[in-house]
Structure 1
Amino acid sequence: MIGPGPVRIRSHTRPRRRRTAGVLASALVLLAAPACSVAGADPIGEGPGTLRVVLPEEPPTLEPCDASLTATGRVTRSNITEALTERDPSTGRLEQALATEWKRDSPTSWTFTLREGVRFHDGSAFTAEAAAFSIERATESDLNCNVDGYIFTDSKVTATPAGDTTLKVTTAEPDPILPLRLSFVEIVPTSTDPDARVRKPIGTGPYRLDEWSQGRFLRLKRFSGYWGEAPDFAAAKYVWRAEGSVRAAMVTNDEADVAIGLAPEDGAGDRAVEFTTNEVSYLRMDATKAPLDDIRIRRAVNYAIDREGLVTAVFSGRPSGQLVSKGVTGHNPRIKPWAYDPERAKALVAEARADGVPTGTTITLIGRNGIYPKAAEAMEVVQDGLIKAGLKVEIKMLDVNAWLEYLLRPFPKGIGPTLLQAQHGNQAGDAAFTMGQIYGSKGAQSSYGTPELDALTTRAQLASGDQRQKAFADAFAHQNDEVVRDAVMANMTGILALSSHVRYRPDSATNDEMRLSDMRRAD
């Protein structure tokens, strides 16, 4: 659906999937709260008609231009805010949201026809002016929006209204997937501060922000002026608990309606729902600092990790060798997971040490609490393998806000060599959203890049069709063989706990977007 010529989509009274979303979910109607709560935690305590959701962590921000961050997007995307387009994770098709039609006028220009009769939560009308403002705010401001680094990298995008319902968008270079990129730009009214992040986002979605009591809960209420079909639940209340067993117990004890980010042993029982995600867990290596600046050490790190052991005993998933899963444009089926070969790892470290590489320098393994079930245990398994290979490794587990300082540029200064526990979910379905931001020399999440890999990425981004698939697959192969910037571990499997009072079918986008409108009352 993306490419030269007009892209016309059958008009809907509402967007696909009843408005769902990349990073998670499921839920149910709230029943009366029980007299006692799990592990002494305050019960959610809302009335009937409220969806009770328990998350692993509190969102670090609700800023719309950071909605491509999982912890933010699972609350905001397609709930509070919406984009011009959206990708169906089941089919890969790009579908209409706030735009009903788009066509490519030239290699660098597009025209979007916008949906009429849409209003923001503050009552103002959604127009092409608001769409242009939102695109500029997300891509050209000094806010350092995650969507800018992740989706647009260094791309120059200009959006110009041509009437209330027509938007012209131009790019400095040909961009065959611009409509797909715009599915990550959350649309906000022109009254939004263009120079500062907002705490209380205003959007066009089926829910509006009601209250955020930081550290305690976050509540959304159904927006009576929503342009589409009204969702089943009148409100949603989010709380967060770090322990997966506590989250699972809150559902089984009827203290919550949905719990996400669970492990098999968390005790959800017949309330557990397993699903395939697009999330890939990996370790990012800072290849600019010794001993990780030696490719032998980076290869040794890969050989030292027992991926089969991790997915068998620690978290759910299957071993993987690349950062995008099957179905994403650019996925290379020839790249297999690195073999577990501790003897080879030892030999490479010894060889590097003999050549003067300071293999005794402490490498800090920076982990994130709650990034996936048993995150700390996974890092302990990795640490043990690296120590046995002859490296010195210390673990530093952080909460999400502190961890983001290491994930996103500019990185903290004065730190030594690091391995960063991370996870990447390419819900957009195209490797352009992986290669530039994660492997590019100037990528928003990249600690190291090479001119050769940058050139391969640029070539792939300008291609389309079969040539695009091959070009990105070649770039991934080059990274795996010649750069070795990371240690990919597993394509993750998600588990959520779902109450019997709600109907919901999770998909590969569930861990990034938890669309409340997809949740239906079952009683």
Structure 2
Amino acid sequence: MTGCFAPSAGSEGGDGGKRIRVAMMQPPRSGLSPLSDDAFKLSRWSAAETLVRLDADGDPQPLLATKWTQNDRTWTFTLRKGVTFHDGTALTPRAVVRSLERAAGASPKPRILDGVRLSAKAVGDKVEITTSQTDPLVPHRLSSPQLSILAAKAYHTKAVDPVGAGTGPFVISKVNGTASAALDRYDAYWGGPAKAPGIDVKFVPDGTARAAALRSGEADIVEAVPVAQASLLEKNQITEVPMPRTNTLYLNTTSGPFRQASLRAAAREALDTEALVRGVYEGRADRADGLLGPALPWAAQLRDTAEGRAEAADPDGAKITIGTFTDRAELPEAAALLQQQLEKAGFEVELDVREYSAIESDALEGKFDAFVLSRATVLDSGDPAAYLYSDFASDGSFNISQLGDKGVDSALRAAAAAPAGEERREKVMAAEEAVLGTDAALPLLHERVVQGDAVGVVGSVKDPRERELVTRSTYIK
């Protein structure tokens, strides 16, 4: 990491403030398109904004929209006045409609719109959003960074280009492929100028290198410090927060040995998840009893043991390939330990480990018998129903298990249709129980986020949902 930031990084800005140097885990995979997971980089840099934001409890709050009302399938949003995009054009109802229509018509759709059809239109100074079915989570969905509102210039080509097109306190000024990016303060920001003059970002997939950057003073803020590196940092440099992220072993239900429910059951019985927590995560994680973890405290209160699971059969040397990726430093080690546990149970196991950008498409196409994934469970809407639908519905866009189960689909639809509140939470847990009953996904553990901050960092956000990091209030002393 030595010298990896630009010479000006961390130097004095024009007003005497210091630029914030950030080492991020994953490089952009889609040119920073908000229609991909790159959207979360835009929100963590405060470069792009959505109509709605979520508070700490997961409830929707105003952002670019100041209020909203519902009439059956139609929601009406009032826009914040005085907002401009980074190119100087004004935020208008038509601009909002343009962004939402592009997302709704994308192929593939942003995950937040899995199973949802919506249309938007400008009505005077407001925006009306109508869904094909009554949807109680429209405001939650509109908080997803994948539904960021951008200026018209972002849509001049087939690809969506957010450079200079957002509304946040920082404007993207330069992107160097998958290596780095730079952002400058946007002085015309509707909420008032940011305290820091800019952000310099370096993409560092190697976790050891990220931690070394903090120790050496090369970075001010470091994403996802590996647990093995956390003990090497000063205690006042790290923050550990239980997060809604679950490590899961997804089993391919349509091809290979795990087509048989009895062999999926054998894999379930072979796993020692406590050994993963102790040995790989050094105790900085929580053993998983389900897909939803302690970041959602109501989940454990409402969870019932999955019933009707298949009886385990003897693997008898069945050959399986487990895939995972190197971007999260613990996953290859976790996969190696799972390999040992499954081989002890009678499977013959091969590992396939690559960078995430090189393995995602194969995983989604069902080319592995099993896949170890670290998955955020409320990343998009603040509501786990969207994650469950995306990962386990027959038409889910992230269905690594290739699961197609009518009972699961029915439970997922019921959860998606339930009104926000206790009833929805009960339906969500019924859907979790249905998924676990198939053994298509074996939850391993729930992660805790370990973020590294230099001593002089003020106001960086430790966000369990990984939506915020640097805001207008973040600066370097």
Tell me which of 81, 87, 92 is aligned to 2:48: 81
Residue 243 of structure 1 deviates from its aligned partner by 3.1
Residues 141 and 194 in structure 1, CA contact (< 8 A), matched pair in contact too: no
Tell me which of 397, 400, 410 is aligned to 2:353: 397
Q: Is 1:155 equivalent to 2:116 in the alignment?
A: yes
| Aligned ranges 1:413-432 → 2 under 5 Å | 415=367, 417-427=369-379, 428-432=381-385
Residues 466-496 of structure 1: CA distance to partner in whole angstroms, max 9, x if unpaired? 3222222111112212x12111111101112
The DSSP-based 3-state class of the residue aligned with 2:153 is coil
Task: Give the aligned partner of residue 285 of structure 2.
Answer: 317
Tell me which of 429, 439, 457 is aligned to 1:473: 429
The DSSP-based 3-state class of the residue aligned with 2:213 is helix
AA aligned opposite 2:65 = A
Task: Give the aligned partner of residue 490 of structure 1.
Answer: 445
Residue 194 of structure 1 deviates from its aligned partner by 6.8
The DSSP-based 3-state class of the residue aligned with 1:517 is coil
Task: Give the aligned partner of residue 30 of structure 2.
Answer: 61
Residues 242 and 370 in structure 1, CA contact (< 8 A), matched pair in contact too: yes
AA aligned opposite 2:278 = T
Task: Give the aligned partner of residue 469 of structure 2.
Answer: 514
Cα–Cα, structure 1 residues 206 and 64, in superposed 2: closer, same or farther, change >3 Å? farther
Q: Distance in 2 between matches of 1:108 and 1:383?
A: 48
Q: Distance in 1 between matches of 2:184 and 2:465?
A: 21
Tell me which of 360, 365, 369 is aligned to 2:318: 360
Structure 2 gap segments, 5+ residues each:
13-17
The DSSP-based 3-state class of the residue aligned with 2:47 is coil
Q: Distance in 1 between matches of 2:432 and 2:119?
A: 30
Q: Distance in 1 between matches of 2:305 and 2:201?
A: 37
Task: Give the aligned partner of residue 245 of structure 1.
Answer: 208
Residues 35-90 of structure 1: CA distance to partner in whole angstroms, max 9, x if unpaired? xx64xx634432222111112231213444335x2x551344561211000101x2
The DSSP-based 3-state class of the residue aligned with 1:302 is helix
The DSSP-based 3-state class of the residue aligned with 1:192 is helix
| Aligned ranges 1:451-466 → 2 under 5 Å | 451-464=406-419, 465-466=421-422
Q: Is 1:213 equivalent to 2:182 in the alignment?
A: no
The DSSP-based 3-state class of the residue aligned with 2:245 is strand
Task: Give the aligned partner of residue 21 of structure 1.
Answer: none
Task: Give the aligned partner of residue 378 of structure 1.
Answer: 334
Residues 329 and 469 in structure 1, CA contact (< 8 A), matched pair in contact too: no
Q: What's the RMSD between the two structures over aligned residues?
A: 2.5
Residues 343-367 of structure 1: CA distance to partner in whole angstroms, max 9, x if unpaired? xx9x9341x65xxxxx523x22111
Residue 100 of structure 1 deviates from its aligned partner by 0.1
The DSSP-based 3-state class of the residue aligned with 1:74 is helix
Q: Distance in 2 between matches of 1:95 and 1:103?
A: 13
Q: Distance in 2 between matches of 1:440 and 1:101?
A: 32
The DSSP-based 3-state class of the residue aligned with 2:278 is helix
Q: Is 1:369 equivalent to 2:310 in the alignment?
A: no
Residues 328 and 429 in structure 1, CA contact (< 8 A), matched pair in contact too: no
Q: Distance in 2 between matches of 1:111 and 1:264?
A: 45
Cα–Cα, structure 1 residues 104 and 199, in superposed 2: closer, same or farther, change >3 Å? closer
Residue 336 of structure 1 deviates from its aligned partner by 8.2
Residues 63 and 197 in structure 1, CA contact (< 8 A), matched pair in contact too: no
Cα–Cα, structure 1 residues 279 and 82, in superposed 2: closer, same or farther, change >3 Å? same
Residues 80 and 204 in structure 1, CA contact (< 8 A), matched pair in contact too: yes
The DSSP-based 3-state class of the residue aligned with 1:262 is coil
Task: Give the aligned partner of residue 135 of structure 1.
Answer: 100
Tell me which of 406, 428, 436 is aligned to 2:389: 436
| Aligned ranges 1:28-427 → 2 under 5 Å | 38=2, 42-45=4-7, 46=9, 47-48=11-12, 49-67=18-36, 69=37, 72-76=39-43, 79-88=46-55, 90-105=56-71, 107-142=72-107, 144-145=108-109, 147=110, 150-163=111-124, 165-184=125-144, 185-193=147-155, 196-201=158-163, 202-266=165-229, 267-270=232-235, 271-315=237-281, 316-326=284-294, 328=296, 331=299, 333=301, 335=303, 348-350=312-314, 353=316, 360-361=318-319, 363-371=320-328, 373-408=329-364, 411=365, 415=367, 417-427=369-379
Residue 506 of structure 1 deviates from its aligned partner by 4.0
Residue 505 of structure 1 deviates from its aligned partner by 5.6
TM-score by length of 2: 0.88
Task: Give the aligned partner of residue 31 of structure 1.
Answer: none
Residues 198-238 of structure 1: CA distance to partner in whole angstroms, max 9, x if unpaired? 34442111111111112431111111221112222111111
Q: Distance in 2 between matches of 1:330 and 1:137?
A: 35
Q: Distance in 1 between matches of 2:305 and 2:21?
A: 39
Residues 330 and 468 in structure 1, CA contact (< 8 A), matched pair in contact too: no
Cα–Cα, structure 1 residues 433 and 490, in superposed 2: closer, same or farther, change >3 Å? same
Residues 75 and 514 in structure 1, CA contact (< 8 A), matched pair in contact too: no
Q: Distance in 2 between matches of 1:514 and 1:197?
A: 26
The DSSP-based 3-state class of the residue aligned with 2:434 is helix
Tell me which of 454, 460, 467 is aligned to 1:499: 454
TM-score by length of 1: 0.81
Cα–Cα, structure 1 residues 503 and 398, in superposed 2: closer, same or farther, change >3 Å? same
Residues 3-59 of structure 1: CA distance to partner in whole angstroms, max 9, x if unpaired? xxxxxxxxxxxxxxxxxxxxxxxxxxxxxxxxxx64xx6344322221111122312
Q: Distance in 1 between matches of 2:332 and 2:297?
A: 32
Q: Percent identity?
A: 22
AA aligned opposite 1:504 = G
The structure whose RCO (Cα within 8 Å, separation 6+) is larger is 1
Residues 288 and 448 in structure 1, CA contact (< 8 A), matched pair in contact too: yes
